[in-house]
Chains A and B, each alone.
Chain A
Amino acid sequence: MSQIQNVIEAQALTKIFGDFKAVNAISFDVKAGEIFGFLGANGAGKTTAIKMLIGLSRPSEGEATVAGYDVYQQTEQIKENIGYMSQKFSLYEDLTVRENINFYGGIYGLSRRQIRQKTSEIIEQLGLENHARKLVGSLPLGWKQRLAFAVAGVHDPKIIFLDEPTGGVDPATRRQFWEMLYAAADRGVTIFVTTHYMDEAEYCDRISIMVAGRIDALGSPRELKQQFSANTMDEVFLKLVRD
């Protein structure tokens, strides 16, 4: 197959709460293996849009498919085919590293054999051999974030959604995390990520920027900088959101 397929397609996707359009007819596609940055100011509608895409919130209007499944009719299939990592909730702090992986493997319906295999794979990949029996709560934040990402991919999903995954860690740890994202994208996993770090926006293949419920800009970092005659993504963002 020469043509790269879209793993997310949204057409005029809309969510209305009362008389407020939280998400106002957004349209975009995300390709397989792409790192797609989903940016916007606080309150622009990002979280509401993500909730519709991952099958947690029913759209008011518009169409969307995720991993080929319809966001109205096939939300269970969507959940089976995506991974999700949020800054607030992901791992159980009072379970060990190994127990967390086992738990999520079970939740996603992996067989015992698959779980065993995945567990050793993840522990080895993250270099956590000597920490597998430690409670997750006792690990440094950067390790937790990398483990949370690995666990979000325990069932080999086509797409992993990440909501501000790198808050609070030092610059070196933040970069190690992004290298995990690159490696996953290199294997063909689609990465859909939100962040407030504008330098991280530059690491994405393409970016969309939401302002007041709409997508006001969409393109590669280079295209957007050209379009807005800006030197950095920070400038692009400020120009868009302040106008």
Chain B
Amino acid sequence: MSSIVVDRVSKSYDAVEAVKESQFSVEKGELFGLIGPDGAGKSTLFKMMTTLLIPDTGDILIEGFHTVREYKKIRKIIGYMPGRFSLYQDLSVEENLQFFATIFGTTIQANYHLIEEIYTQIEPFRKRRAGKLSGGMKQKLALCCALIHEPKVLFLDEPTTGVDAVSRAEFWDMLKRLKSKGITIIVSTPYMDEASLCERIALIQTGEILRIDSPENIIHGFDKPLFAVSAQNFYQLLQDLRTQPFTERVEAFGEFLHLTTKEAISTEKIEAFLNFKGHREIEIHPTTATIEDVFLDLI
């Protein structure tokens, strides 16, 4: 039995179709990612999976329970960290944790082993009000509160948005360790570089799932010629390449531009064109796609 089954689910808000015929399943103990920008429908999916919103059409099962007919059973066995910080700002770190443990009829001591690693990092601040914590600390406390009743499935809606690169890396390390304890984890993120940390991902845009597969397979599926190009005047380089008939798309990727061409072309030919345009310090080499290249190609 799959841990999560989403079967042809749609949801509209007035005229806006937030989720269109979504379909996917997540296996027990899997780390599954929903990857897409703001407005893609990620949060709406999360709200339906966590029984907070009723789908217009379609069904969702969590650990075999139906999200509409059996919502009470589901609420006992899931942990949910919403995209917006939802703990009590005027309660202390310790009080928040105590509160969530009590609500779920358990104690901090009973499940301390699950949160120990994370909680020890925020313990020095246990008397501080949650509203006064930094972004990274808030995120760690929210994860502790979502874990304190030992859930079978963990729903994390954009846990790393607006969090610095170091805290993000630490957070993903924690997720891997939780996964090793057998918890199913579904996580959404707008950061494409985090996609590769999931076992399988769904790329999602304006309510539609564009592709579901492992990150490796999604990258292998990209079969167009792709080059990394740089030169002294980056902005001019972008403008010049964009006007070329051989160019399918060209975008900034870190210190290089990624150039996708319509058909195979030699690096010499591209270089000759750039020399002709007067570019200096030209660097050009074929490169492999990233999840972000695939995403840009799909939308």
Residues of A within 8 A of B (CB): 40-43, 87, 140-141, 164, 167-173, 175, 178-179, 182-183, 185-186, 196-199, 202-203, 221-222, 232-234, 237-238, 241-242
Known interface pairs A186-B235, A237-B165, A238-B166; A169-B255 also in contact (CB < 8 Å):
no
- In the complex, which residues of chain B have a beta carbon less than 8 angstroms from the beta carbon of A140? 39
Give the dominant DSSP class at A's interface: helix
A-B contact pairs, 29 of them (CB 8 A): A41-B136, A41-B166, A42-B134, A42-B135, A42-B163, A43-B136, A167-B161, A167-B190, A168-B38, A168-B161, A169-B37, A170-B37, A170-B38, A170-B190, A170-B295, A171-B251, A172-B251, A172-B296, A179-B235, A179-B238, A179-B252, A182-B238, A197-B191, A198-B165, A199-B253, A203-B254, A237-B165, A241-B164, A242-B166
Asked if B103 CB lies within 8 Å of chain A CBs, one says: no
Among A42, A43, A167, max chain B CB count under 10 A is at A42
- In the complex, which residues of chain B have a beta carbon less than 8 angstroms from the beta carbon of A168? 37-38, 161, 190
A17 CA to B135 CA, complexed, in Å = 20
Closest 9 CB pairs of A and B: A170-B37, A202-B254, A182-B235, A168-B38, A41-B164, A43-B134, A42-B135, A202-B255, A241-B166
Count of interface residues, chain B, beta-carbon cutoff 8 Å: 34
Shortest beta-carbon distance from A241 to chain B in Å: 5
Shortest beta-carbon distance from B174 to chain A in Å: 15
Residues of B within 8 A of A (CB): 36-40, 134-136, 161-169, 190-193, 205, 234-235, 238, 251-255, 292, 295-296, 299
Q: Which of B39, B235, B254 contacts A183 (CB 8 A)?
A: B235
Q: Which of B166, B205, B252, B295 contacts A178 (CB 8 A)?
A: B252
A186 CA to B191 CA, complexed, in Å = 28
- In the complex, which residues of chain A have a beta carbon less than 8 angstroms from the beta carbon of B136? 41-43
CB <8 Å contact, B37 and A234: no
Among A87, A171, A178, A196, max chain B CB count under 10 A is at A171
- In the complex, which residues of chain A have a beta carbon less than 8 angstroms from the beta carbon of B238? 179, 182
- In the complex, which residues of chain A have a beta carbon less than 8 angstroms from the beta carbon of B252? 175, 178-179, 203
Q: Which of B134, B165, B251, B253 contacts A196 (CB 8 A)?
A: B165
- In the complex, which residues of chain A have a beta carbon less than 8 angstroms from the beta carbon of B161? 167-168
Known interface pairs A42-B136, A43-B134, A172-B299; A141-B165 also in contact (CB < 8 Å):
no
Shortest beta-carbon distance from A167 to chain B in Å: 6
Shortest beta-carbon distance from A205 to chain B in Å: 9
Besides A198-B193, A198-B254, 20 new A-B residue pairs in contact (Cβ under 8 A), listed by A number: A42-B135, A42-B164, A42-B167, A43-B134, A43-B136, A141-B39, A167-B161, A168-B38, A170-B299, A171-B37, A179-B238, A183-B235, A197-B191, A199-B193, A199-B254, A202-B255, A203-B254, A234-B165, A237-B166, A238-B165
A234 CA to B169 CA, complexed, in Å = 10
Q: Which residue of B lies closest to A205 (CB)?
A: B234
A48 CA to B238 CA, complexed, in Å = 35
Q: Which of A164, A232, A234 contacts B162 (CB 8 A)?
A: A164
CB <8 Å contact, B36 and A170: yes
